[in-house]
Amino acid sequence: MTISQGRNSSTVTRFILLGFSEFPKLTVVLFSIFLGIYLITVSWNLGLIILIKMNSHLHTPMYFFLDKLAFIDTCYVSSTAPKMLSDFFHEQKSISYMGCTMQYFFFSGFALTECCLLAAMAYDRYAAICSPLLYTTIMSPTLCLQMMVGSSITGFCGSFIQLFGLLQLHFCGPNVINHFFCDLPQLLILSCSDTFFLQVITSVLTVIFGLTSLLVIMISYGYIVASIMKITSAEGRSKAFNTCASHITAVTLFFGSGTFVYLCPSSDDSLSQNKLASVVYTVMIPMLNPVIYSLRNKEIKDALSRWKRTIFS
């Protein structure tokens, strides 16, 4: 049962996730694609974590944060993908009320943590390029650990505030979510309660996490660009830009897709577009991040080559 009858009202106990049911003929194809993406995402991120752990040359602040980003991406994609995959072959694509709220709690927690971590990584690049002689002093192991722990605590505190507001809402029907996971905008639409308070909380958290993180990133790169412009050699400028290119690409993809979904006006016609954009930031980005950070990274390529020689020698 998805609705339990009360004395004067009904209460939703389960939600129906439509997922990609508008493409019934593509069920097997979509399942195969998303399963492949999920397995690649987990294997690539775990592989990157193992590579960084095993190679002493990569025990630096930059790779410390990259290691944590890979771990967060693995948890982040795992908060939505397994349920989405299992629903492909279920006739009744349902999720309990508590399961729905907890799915959003973990999804939001890891997403907000990644916002903070991307800002911390921008500061790391600022310290490396603008103060290279003091880099190891500025980015001490203690500071790196504090930034990582602070990002996690702050991210999940923000998510807990949203969860608290979400648990105050009453759902009396309908209970159909036109999405492949329990996202907050769809839950607000279905609620029978006044959602103004939670909308205000969400807006405040968006400013605190989204805009503040972007501001830190933009200020950091403002100083970085100014420092790079002072480098006289073209080779030196190119090398400095290359160290930042991966991070800029990851930031653009993460914040760009999130902005499209959460800040663009929603309508019935845009639901499919929002769903596709959600695929980008929930499934594709965690898969692409290891590639983005490894593709033009000589140190990771060298570490991978040494690892291969050790294994096959």
Could you tell me which residue, 91 or 149, shows the higher pLDDT? 149
pLDDT band at 8, cuts 50/70/90?
very low
Q: What is the pLDDT of residue 1?
A: 44
Instruction: Show the domains of the chain with their CATH numbers.
Output: 24-312 (1.20.1070.10)
pLDDT band at 36, cuts 50/70/90?
very high
Out of 214-223, 229-238, 289-298, 301-310, pick the least confident: 301-310
pLDDT band at 312, cuts 50/70/90?
low
Q: What is the pLDDT of residue 298?
A: 78
- Name which of 249, 238, 255, 257 is nearest 294 in CA terms: 249
Tokens representing residue 91 in the block: 């006739």
Cα 106 from Cα 160, distance rounded (Å): 9
Q: Which residue has the tokens 């898969």?
A: 287
Pairing of strands 3-5, 176-177: unpaired
10 Å CB burial of residue 285 (0-12, 13-18, 19+) is buried
Mean pLDDT of 97-117: 96
Helices 141-167 and 97-130: crossing angle, nearest 10°? 150
Q: How far is CA 257 from the centre of its chain?
A: 10
Backbone angles phi, psi at 90, to 5 degrees: -100, 125
Give the dihedral of Cα atoms 156, 158, 159, 163; nearest 10 deg. 130
Name 124's Cβ contacts closer than 8 Å, sequence gap at least 6: 61, 62, 65, 139, 144
